Amino acid sequence: MISYLLRRTAILLGSLFLAAVALFVLLRLLPGDPANALLPVGATPEQIEAARRQLGTDAPLLDQFGTWLGHVFTLDLGKSLISTLPVGPEIVTRLPVTVPLTLAAFVLAVLVAVPVGVLAAVRADRWYGPVLNAVAQFGIAVPAFWVGLLLITVFALRLQILPAGGFPPDGWASPGLAIEALVLPVITVALVMSASLIRYVRAATLDVLGADYLRTARSLGMSRSGAMRRHGLRNAAVPVIAVLAMELATTFLGAVVVESVFALPGLGGLLVRGIAQHDYPVIQGVMLVSTATVLVVGFLGDLAQRLVDPRLRNRAAS
Amino acid sequence: MSSTASPPDLSPAPQSDPSPASARAGAGSRRRSLHLVIGLVLVGIIAGGVLISYFWLPFAPDDTSGGRLVPPGGDHLLGTDKLGRDLLTQLLIGGRIALATALGAVAVGGVLGVSFGLLAGFATRWLDDAAAVVLDILIAFPTLLLAMLLVAGAGASLTTAILAIGLAMAAIVARLTRVLVKQVLGRDYITAARIAGVSWPRVVASHVLPNIAPVVLVNLALQAGLAVLAEASLSYLGLGTPPPNASWGRMLYEAQATVLTAPAAALAPGLALVALVIGMNLTADGLRDLADPRRAAR
* Nearest CA-CA partner of A268 in B47, B141, B238: B238
Most A CBs within 10 A among B146, B258, B259, hence the mutation to make, goes to B259
For residues A108 and A250, give the distance between their C-alpha atoms in angstroms, rounded to a whole number.
14
- For B187, counting Cβ atoms within 10 Å of its Cβ (0-12 exposed, 13-18 middle, 19+ buried), the class is middle
Please check whether residue A232 is in contact with residue A205, taking contact to mean a CB–CB distance below 8 angstroms.
yes
Best CATH choice for the domain A93-317 from the list 1.10.287.3510, 1.10.3720.10, 3.40.50.300, 3.40.50.1370: 1.10.3720.10
User: How close, in Å, is residue B100 to chain A by CA atoms?
Assistant: 18
Say if residue B165 is exposed, middle or buried (CB neighbours under 10 Å; 0-12, 13-18, 19+).
Answer: buried
Fold of B39-53+74-297: MetI-like fold (1.10.3720)
Check A142 against B274: CB less than 8 A apart: yes
Residue B26 vs residue B232, higher pLDDT: B232
Give the pLDDT of residue B278. 92
pLDDT at position A35, please?
65
pLDDT digits (tens, 9 = 90+) for B50-83: 898 888 777 777 776 666 766 777 666 677 777 7
Asked if A210 lies within 8 A of B140 by C-beta distance, the reply is no
Cβ-based burial of B122 (10 A; exposed 0-12, middle 13-18, buried ≥19): middle
Judge if the upstream peptide bond of residue B20 is cis by omega within 30 degrees of 0. no
Between B18 and A102, residue with greater pLDDT: A102
Give every CB contact of residue A241 below 8 A, 6+ residues apart in sequence.
A301, A304, A305, A308
Mean pLDDT, all residues of chain B: 79
Q: In terms of pLDDT, which residue wins out, A183 or B111?
A: B111
Q: Residue B30 pLDDT > 80, yes or no?
A: no
Q: Nearest residue of A to residue B148 by CA position?
A: A275
Say if residue B32's pLDDT is above 70: no
> What digits encode the pLDDT tens for the residues B196-207?
888 888 888 888
Query: Domain map of chain A by residue range?
Result: 15-73, 93-317
Average pLDDT over residues B174-193: 87
**CA–CA separation, A24 vs A105, rounded Å?**
32
Range with the lowest mean pLDDT among A28-32, A164-168, A179-183, B67-71? Answer: A28-32
Q: Is the dihedral of CA B233, B234, B235, B238 positive or negative?
A: positive
Judged against a pLDDT cut of 50, whether residue A318 lies above it is answered with no
Over residues B75-104, the pLDDT tens digits come to 666 777 777 677 888 888 889 999 999 999
Instruction: Quote the minimal CA–CA distance from A14 to chain B in Å.
Output: 7
What DSSP line would sit under A264-285, residue for residue? --SHHHHHHHHHHTT-HHHHHH
Phi, psi of A79, rounded to the nearest 5 degrees: -115, 145
Query: In this predicted model, what pLDDT tens digit does every residue of A86-104 receive, in sequence order?
Result: 888 888 888 888 888 888 9
pLDDT at B138 over 80: no
Whether chain B has a CB inside 8 Å of the CB on A294: the answer is yes
CB atoms < 10 A from the CB of A307, how many? 12
* pLDDT band of A210, cuts 50, 70, 90: confident
Q: Name the strand (E) or helix (H) holding B191.
A: helix B188-195
For residue A40, give the amino acid letter.
P
Q: Which percentage of chain A shows pLDDT scores above 90?
A: 2
Q: Judge residue A233's burial from the number of C-beta atoms within 10 Å of its C-beta, 0-12 exposed, 13-18 middle, 19 or more buried.
A: middle
Q: Which of A269, A293, A257, A192 is nearest to B147 (CA)?
A: A257
From the list A200, A184, A1, the residue with the least C-alpha distance to A105 is A184
Residue A154 touches partner B, C-beta closer than 8 Å? no
Which residues on chain A are in Cβ contact (under 8 Å) with B21?
210
Neighbour count for residue A150 (Cβ, 10 Å): 17
DSSP conformation letters of B3-49: TTPPPPTTSPPPS---SGGGGGHHHHHHHHHHHHHHHHHHHHHHHHH
CB contact under 8 A, B149 and A261: no
Q: Which residues does B contribute to its contact with A (CB < 8 Å)?
A: 19-21, 133, 136-137, 140-142, 144-145, 148-155, 225, 229, 232-233, 236-239, 249, 252, 255-256, 259-260, 263, 266, 270, 273-274, 277-278, 281-282, 298
**Other CB atoms closer than 10 Å to residue A86's CB: what's the count?**
16
pLDDT of A226 reads 75
Percent above pLDDT 90 for chain B: 16
Residues of B in Cβ contact (< 8 Å) with A287? 145, 148-149
Residue B73 C-alpha from the chain's centroid = 33
Helix (H, G, I), strand (E, B) or coil at B94: helix
Tens-place pLDDT, residues B156-178: 788 888 998 998 889 889 988 98
- Residue B57: left (phi > 0), alpha (psi -120 to 50), or beta? beta
**What is the tens place of the pLDDT at every residue in A299-317?**
888 787 777 776 766 554 4
The residue of chain A with its CA nearest to that of B236 is A145
Q: Which of B137, B150, B256 sits opposite A149 (nearest CB)?
A: B256
Identify all chain B residues contacting A250, using CB atoms and an 8 Å cutoff. Answer: 142
What is the predicted pLDDT for the residue at B26?
52
% helix, strand, coil for chain A, step of 5: 80, 0, 20
CA A130 → CA A93, A125, A153, A193, distances in Å?
45, 8, 30, 19
Contact between residue B214 and residue B273 where contact means Cβ atoms under 8 Å apart: no
Residue among B152, B252, B278 minimizing CB distance to A283:
B152
Total residue length of chain A: 318
pLDDT tens profile A22-72: 777 777 765 556 666 666 666 777 777 777 776 666 677 777 778 777 877
Note whether B117 and B176 are within 8 A (CB). Answer: yes
More confidently predicted of B51 and B27? B51
How much is the pLDDT for B224?
A: 92
Rg of chain B over Cα atoms, rounded to whole angstroms, equals: 23
Range with the lowest mean pLDDT among A119-133, A178-192, B70-84, B267-281?
B70-84
A47 Cα to chain B: minimum distance (Å): 23
Q: Do A19 and B21 touch (CB under 8 A)?
A: no
Contacts of A198 (CB under 8 A, 6+ apart): A112, A113, A116, A117, A120, A132, A133, A136, A139
**Contact residues on chain B for A294, CB-CB shorter than 8 A:** 140-142, 145
pLDDT of residue B45: 92
What is the DSSP secondary-structure string of A128-185? HHHHHHHHHHHHHTS-HHHHHHHHIIIIIIIS--S-SS---TTGGGSHHHHHHHHHHH
Q: Which residues pair with A79 in a beta bridge?
A: A86
pLDDT given at position A57 = 67
Q: What is the pTM of this model?
A: 0.82
* Count of Cβ atoms closer than 10 Å to residue B56 Cβ: 7
User: Which of chain A's residues have a Cβ under 8 Å away from the Cβ of B229?
Assistant: 141, 143
Mean pLDDT (whole number) for A117-135: 79
B144: which chain A residues are within 8 Å (Cβ-Cβ)?
Answer: 253, 256-257
Q: Does A164 touch chain B (CB under 8 A)?
A: no
Cβ pair A149:B144 closer than 8 A: no
Confidence of residue B112 (pLDDT cuts 50, 70, 90): very high
Taking each helix axis as running N to C, give the angle between helix A2-29 and helix B125-140, from 0 to 180 degrees, rounded to the nearest 10: 60
Query: pLDDT by residue (tens digit) across A250-285?
Result: 777 778 788 888 888 888 888 888 887 778 788 888
List the one residue out of A233, A179, A188 whose CA is nearest residue A209. A233
